[in-house]
Amino acid sequence: MDIRGMIRQMTLEEKAGLCSGQDFWRLKAVERLGLPNVMVSDGPHGLRKQDQKGDHLGLNESIPAVCFPTGAALACSFDRDLISQVGRALGAECQAEDVAVVLGPAVNIKRSPLCGRNFEYLSEDPYLAGQMAAGHIQGVQSQNVGVSLKHFAANNQETRRMSVDAVADERTLREIYLSAFETAVKQAKPWTLMCSYNKINGVYSSDNEWLLNKVLREEWGFEGFVMTDWGAVHDRVTGLKAGLELEMPSSGGVNDQKIVEAVREGRLDEAVLDRAVERILNVISRYLENRNPGVFDREKDHALAREVAARCMVLLKNEGDILPLKGEDSVAFIGGFAKTPRYQGGGSSHINASRVESALEAAQSHGFRVRYAQGYAMDSDETSQALLNQAVELAGECRVAVVFAGLPDAYESEGYDRTHMDMPPAHNELIRRVSEANPNTVVVLHNGSPVTMPWLDNVKGVLEAYLGGQAVGGAVVELLYGLKNPCGRLAETFPIQLSDNPSYLNFPGNANRVEYREGVFVGYRYYDKKQMAVRFPFGYGLSYTRFEYSGLAVDKPSIRSGEPLSVRVRVKNVGSRPGREVVELYVAPDHKGIMRPVRELKGFESVLLQPGEEKEVCFELDERSFAYYETRISDWYVEPGRYLIQIGRSSRDIALSQPVDIGNDPLPVHFDLSSTLGELMDHPVGALLVEERLRAMGAAMGGGGALNDQMRNAMMRDMPLSSLPLFSRQAVSEEMLLAMLKEVNGE
Ligand code: BGC
């Protein structure tokens, strides 16, 4: 496609028109130039292609498609290849259905367990979310179909999502809320990106020059186009200038006209419009020129959905090795979700599943001895005595009772947030009563986000299935009966209670403003710093086998910042079943310095090991693995000092630790009279100058008295330079200080 030539032939109206959709799901065509109207459709964990009546709330029908495990589940695999495989299947489905761009993945950080869309989002950790998103994108785009990485940015709640102002400092944004987008953009080059509805620090994402032109394009090198979330345009002309190319779905021509007028009146340079059109056409032509229509093989993708679901579920508790169940066990499956599983969430990601596989049907098809009782009404939160009694009776008759519980559809969805973390009373009561009737009770959870577990001590096993996609039941049975070995790890912390969560006092904000006051201390970064007990930590998950770590080694004991560091560790399966271990690498600063989390995830690998087998796992760490965002220099910075490389089974269970010393230049900060003596002494040149020129000061300020040296030094460190003349009785003059400042600032 000769894109530039095409733009030259287009009228101003045609160009403006191309910057908004034709309808809900199509971009506009320019027929006289042979440009067809390509289609976009929702994801992220399946294809929601609507042929007829379009809507973005999951209300109207879409074509039958395969619902894969949702983002919350997928992230628990800690497996880039696995999520990439899902992406490839999704891309192939899009090719078969002639969809040019699938709207996802969604990588917003789970700030609060209450966010209604947490089931779609990946993690509370930006490294994990970014890596998994990159895997997903590479998979989809390998099929020559684009993605739309969303929702950029700081869309961490559904309450007032279309208007709320997310107020966060730059370090928090860079380290937590932008970081997953940055990784995905740099590593996987998404064709498109979707901006969020909300404001960030007072400016709508769709108008946000800093966000779109500066950070996304200039700094990260994004080359695709930006589209709005559905209806997220604020000021169309400002948006176009700020780097927003496509408005979706369509303003019925109103906003196109505003673009035309702005160009005519000289308020908008036509070159800006041309550049936007070029970016849109680049993506369209990429799709059209690489068409590879195949068949949408729903059966094959269903099997993949089952395989993936089994790799995502997290075994949270397995007291006395209650699991795996034996084929000959008499087992009660209790709870409506055993027959009608909850496997996806509500809203724009809602898939019209081609088929749903329940645990009950799967157990029966394997020939296991399973009996069923519904236990609770599907349409009410309150206990039904009749259903409860039947369930308790059945539980008493079987060796093991497996209760399928969790959150019903109405509890979590796009468009609103939860108000508490509890499961319906009927579910909690059922588990309590069943566990009284049968000491061998196991709970299988279907939920998109953490729940409280008041019954945890009374049950022997808990399998977190999340919202595991349409084949969830088959996967649950494979894991319960040990046909497969659980290997998922929590991609988020399960707090004991909602009020433990760091965003608790500031979620979802007041009126139209939500302040991210917990800063970078999100998820385990907070719980670990506070040394607070949690229900289940980030990165946690059990297996039917056991693994041992040894031989953690770094290739160099000390490096200069910027030099790569290789880390090796051996992991061995010392149990009797094949299994996968997720090797988690954390970096923990071990020096005095800026306020930081105790440790942060900076590497992970999922390794398959046969019984007795040992493998060496290697990680390459780079500058960013050690850096924090330093607002004084508007850049990432690695503090010189010691860092610990830690291999953990969760953020709370560190198996091995190795130090590495990193050298770096001091922060290139500008000193002035408000700088403290301590800051000056931490600087190599400053330290020399203090030693050389200010010795006199010590004596002048000394005098023994009640202050010992240690106390005096501690007080002195925090003294601003401007106070020294007075407190040193002019032994240190302002002229001396100004001369020193010139030297230390290199002026
Ligand atoms: C959602 C997006 C979705 C779009 C189109 C919006 O309401 O926030 O995630 O892609 O609708 O359905």
Q: Cα–Cα–Cα angle for 30, 31, 35, nearest 5°?
A: 60
Query: What 3-state DSSP class applies to 550?
Result: strand
CA 666, CA 593: separation in Å to the nearest integer?
12
665 among known catalytic residues? no
pLDDT-flagged residues of the chain (< 50):
704
Question: What pLDDT was estimated at residue 493?
Answer: 98
Q: What local confidence, expressed as pLDDT, does residue 710 receive?
A: 76
Cβ neighbours, 10 Å, residue 592:
8
In terms of C-beta density within 10 A (0-12 exposed, 13-18 middle, 19 or more buried), how is residue 119 classed?
A: buried
- Rounded CA separation 62/41 (Å): 10
pLDDT score recorded for residue 371: 98
Top mutation candidate among 39, 42, 59 for ligand 1, by most atoms within 8 Å of CB: 42
Q: How far apart are CA 735 and CA 725, in angstroms?
A: 10
Tell me what pLDDT residue 712 has: 74
Q: How far apart are CA 384 and CA 559, in angstroms?
A: 65
Instruction: For residue 706, give the 3-state DSSP assignment.
Output: coil
pLDDT, position 655:
98
180 Cα: distance to centroid of ligand 1 (angstroms)? 19
Rounded distance between C-alpha atoms, residue 192 and residue 314, angstroms: 32
Which of 125, 229, 301, 422 is the catalytic position? Answer: 229
* The pLDDT of residue 693: 80
The protein residue whose alpha carbon is closest to atom 12 in ligand 1 is 56
d(CA 380, CA 430): 13
Q: Kindly report the pTM of this predicted structure.
A: 0.96
Task: Provide the 10 A C-beta neighbour count for residue 365.
Answer: 11
What pLDDT, on the 0 to 100 scale, is given for residue 51? 76
Cα 598 to ligand 1 centroid, rounded to whole Å: 36
pLDDT score recorded for residue 114: 98
Going by C-beta distance under 8 Å and a sequence separation of 6 or more, which residues neighbour residue 274?
Answer: 7, 15
pLDDT of residue 701: 63
Tokens representing residue 631 in the block: 């607002």
Nearest CA residue ID for atom 7, ligand 1: 56
Single-letter amino acid code for the residue at 468: G
How far apart (Å, rounded) are the C-alpha atoms in residues 612 and 692? Answer: 63
Contact 339, 390 (CB under 8 A): no
56 in ligand 1 pocket by Cβ < 6 Å? Answer: yes
- State the closest ligand 1 atom to the C-alpha of 42, by its place in the atom list counted from 1: 10
